[in-house]
Amino acid sequence: MGKKVEKEKESFNKLKLFNKFEEELIKKEKNDIRRKIFIFEELLNFANKIKKISQDDWKDEIENDIKYARVINGIRKTS
């Protein structure tokens, strides 16, 4: 019985450690996503300024890019 309790205690500690890691990762990813969106918007603005891309072009083409990414990553469309 003692070994089983120790094993459960060890599993619980690992779960606690994993949950802490997961929370920290989520916090970090939120900031990372904001940073990536900021960079994307700045690059888009720069491309518009130098007349290499228009606002309408990327909106039309992004749907195809999403389709290609889903195929490459093996993700099915849910809706």
Distance CA 75, CA 17 (A): 30
The model's pTM = 0.36
* Spatial CB neighbours of 49, under 8 Å, sequence gap ≥ 6: none
pLDDT by residue (tens digit) across 21-39?
A: 888 877 777 667 778 888 8
The whole-number pLDDT of residue 78 equals 66
The average confidence (pLDDT) of the chain is: 76
